[in-house]
Amino acid sequence: MLACGGSRISHQNLGSRFCSTGIFHLSSFTVKPPSSAAATVAAIVDNNSHNPRFHPRFVSSSSLQSKSAGDIPFPPVSFSQREDEHEKPSEALSSVAGGIVALGKFDALHIGHRELAIQASKVGTPYLLSFVGMAEVLGWDPRPPVVAQCDRERVLSSWAPYCGNVAPKEFQVQFMSVRHLSPRQFVEKLARELGVCGVVAGENYRFGYKAAGDASELVRLCDEFGMGAYIINSVMDRHQDARNMNRLDLKDRGQVSSTRVRQALAEGDMKYVSELLGRPHRLLLTIKDWESLTSTSSTQRMSAPRSSLLNLPPKDGFYENCSLLFGEQNAVTCRVSIDTSHIHLEMDRVDFCDNDYSQKSQVLGIEFGELKS
């Protein structure tokens, strides 16, 4: 049976605007080897590859051997041989059982989140563990998501080529149900209630009540409960010093983050947003009144109130070379203007005759070009 200890994975060649922090060695804290097996696991990276390859290295008392991630024998529920100490996963939550769970706050689904999913996919079936209702519980002011809820599956599907042709799935947990859990209770929930085989987290990950647990605590607790723990370096923004970021935010060490994506959207820098996300930002809006569609001999115009937006728009202004996406049709080049009350679309005359205007509402997607100064 495979038992996993903590691992450290570095990032290389993530693009001209992103770089890795220095290797954060596990020797900076003490990790007790799993007591239930003779094998331990360390992660090494082929730095000559654009997409680092994950090679778990098994070290036993009698031999040293290397295997690719595809050769790892994965147990259906837990790495631990102490199965009699574990409760069976809850039937209602068994969809994540046996998987490798990426931990974090997955608001923007940016390239740092994608890297977590990539590393999870190299060990087992990848999942993102997302918390639902956090803002309401903590009393935060409501704000639109970076990615529309109905668009998250599409984004995760686009990660499949990076994840061994497996699209990561999102597993949601009510934040209220875990808010008061200690770090140990949280890991216990992952192991016993959800049946998770292993976790992947960033080096700055905090968890448990009042963020009491850190990455080293995660590794220790996962070992205690027979799970693998893989800690990876943050994906860094090389141009962070040129950006006017919040210097008072102690958690902002220059890594790619959802906060950084939101700030770039507020500046209207769509090229920078695309690099942080690893894809164009897609704004979704619900069109309920097709009477707002007007046409001339050469152009078509449409306006919609900001209340129809399903996620966060960029800075108010005029954007050229945008793409309008309607259902399964090919993208249409358009120009977009955003003001304090409405979003306005203008495009060369396009035949919408095949669309069913009788539907109560339809969702349009907009991918943005550059902001015109």
User: pLDDT tens string for the chain (373 positions)?
Assistant: 333 444 444 343 333 344 333 223 222 222 333 333 333 333 323 333 333 333 332 222 222 222 333 333 333 333 333 334 444 444 444 589 999 999 999 999 999 999 999 999 999 999 999 888 777 777 778 899 999 999 999 999 999 999 999 999 999 888 888 999 999 999 999 999 999 999 999 999 999 999 999 999 999 999 999 999 999 999 999 776 545 555 545 566 789 999 999 999 999 999 999 999 999 999 999 987 665 677 676 788 889 999 999 999 999 999 999 999 987 778 889 999 999 999 999 988 665 544 554 456 689 999 998 888 6
Ordered DSSP codes for 98-153: T-EEEES--SS--HHHHHHHHHHHTTS-EEEEEEESHHHHHTPPP---SS-GGGHH
| pLDDT reported for residue 282 | 97
Q: Say how many residues make up the chain.
A: 373
Rg (C-alpha) for the chain, rounded Å, is 23
| pLDDT reported for residue 22 | 29
The residues pairing with 21 across neighbouring beta strands, listed in sequence order, are none
CA distance 324 to 337: 13
220: which residues sit within 8 A by CB, 6+ positions away?
31, 32
CB neighbourhood size of 306 (10 A): 15
Closest by CA position to 313, among listed 289, 334, 343? 343
Contact present, 122 and 72 (Cβ < 8 Å): no
The position carrying tokens 């907009």 is: 366
Contact present, 189 and 178 (Cβ < 8 Å): yes
| pLDDT reported for residue 291 | 56
61: which residues sit within 8 A by CB, 6+ positions away?
38
CA 186 from centroid of its chain's CA atoms: 20
| pLDDT reported for residue 246 | 53
283: which residues sit within 8 A by CB, 6+ positions away?
309, 310, 311, 312, 313, 314, 365, 366, 367, 368
Contact present, 202 and 104 (Cβ < 8 Å): yes
- At 316, list the tokens: 């108010």
- At 355, list the tokens: 């669309």
Three-state secondary-structure class, residue 89: coil
